[in-house]
Amino acid sequence: MNMLLIAAPYHDVISNICEELQSDYIDILIKTPNNRINYDLLNDKYIINPNSYRSIYNEAFEFLGKLMASSISTGEFLDLNLHPVIWKNILSKEITLYDYESIDYYFYTAINNLEYISNISDENKKKKELEKYGELYFIIKNSNDVDIELKPEGSKIKVTIDNLKEYIDLSKSKRIKEFNNSLDYLKKGFYSVIPYDILQVLTWQQLEEMVCGTNELNIDEFKANTVYEGYTMNDQNIKWFWDWFESTSKNERIKYLKFVSGRSRLPKSGNVIKYKHTISKLINVDKNRFPKSMTCFFKLNLPVYDSYDTFVEKMKYAIIYCYEIDTDQ
């Protein structure tokens, strides 16, 4: 069987897995607390749900680890928008309170303020500053907004100037390690595919790019990797295509990429695509027909349209509602 004919459905399956992992249907990955408060710093990133501790979740994280590692060897990049703490943890890099500014700004700020109070030498001033926080107990909320006790009966133990340092240390430790159980299973799966020592020279950014590629599509590079069948670069429909493509949003370009190739991500610059992006003329067809994609061959079959408005209407419908349109419409 021609492996190219298998490739496109495989791309679709992988893209759909990543899309479902980052949806409300499966709760092993969640948006950061910063997303809930609309704080801009990395608020579109996903973190591990700290409440995903049942055995079925452990198996899911182990599988995800294997899938992530396999993407490095297969080149099938994963459209995963994961927070840096996950990539750092895979590489056993140190996670600190500073990493939590881009996860939970309120927590990060509160702990910094409490550390400032704990370092005040004047006991009376320290007590007055702590009282501004009201009544604190040895309990905090995790990244899923669930209360967790920092020690047995923590919800009944009040924070005072005498135990403030203990409260700060336990709070940082509990939050920084809140994903560790799930990450252990993810790493178990990941390093069952790739030996641990091989990747330790990488930065977390390099690892992310190896697994996910890039979702930043360079238009000039994309043009240079485009060929035409039945069209030339000077034909009106091709000019309309690039006028439209250059005016689209990043999200629309990703949708087009998935429509025409089954992929949502591209390899890093310099190795953009394995097969040339092809725009082929559909002849002897109704001019109101939708464009058709051949994801196996990274090809767009484009009818000849009479107007730019018609071209845009058909292209937008195709990339939004269809992964592949191959019916006579």
Encode pLDDT of 35-73 as tens digits: 988 887 888 899 999 998 788 899 999 999 999 999 888
Contact 292, 301 (CB under 8 A): yes
Phi then psi dihedrals of residue 79, to 5 deg: -85, 70
Class of domain 219-321: alpha beta
Q: What is the pLDDT of residues 208-239, one digit of tens each?
A: 989 988 767 788 888 888 999 999 999 999 99
| Burial class of residue 236, CB neighbours in 10 A (0-12, 13-18, 19+) | middle
Q: What is the pLDDT of residues 141-176, one digit of tens each?
A: 999 999 999 999 999 999 999 999 999 999 999 999
Selected residue with higher pLDDT from 298 and 10? 298
H or E element in which residue 299 lies: strand 299-303
Structure tokens at 166: 């203990």
Beta strands in 26-143 (DSSP E): 29-31, 46-48, 139-141
Q: Which long-range contacts (CB under 8 A, 24 or more apart) does 267-272 make?
A: 267/75, 267/77, 267/213, 267/214, 268/209, 268/213, 268/214, 269/214, 269/218, 269/221, 272/218, 272/221, 272/222, 272/225
When pLDDT is averaged across residues 281-300 and rounded to a whole number, the result is 84
Class of domain 3-101+178-212: alpha beta
Task: Give the pLDDT band of residue 1 (cuts 50, 70, 90).
Answer: very low
Q: In this prediction, what percent of the chain has a pLDDT beyond 70? A: 90
H or E element in which residue 292 lies: strand 292-294
Contact 245, 253 (CB under 8 A): yes
Structure tokens at 40: 């801009």
**Residue 217 has what DSSP assignment?**
-
Do strands 29-31 and 46-48 pair parallel, antiparallel, or not at all (unpaired)?
antiparallel
Helix (H, G, I), strand (E, B) or coil at 311: helix
Q: How far is CA 246 from CA 185, 218, 273, in A?
A: 42, 10, 19
Domain locations along the chain: 3-101+178-212, 121-174, 219-321
Q: What is the pTM of this model?
A: 0.74
Q: Is the pLDDT of residue 325 over 70?
A: no
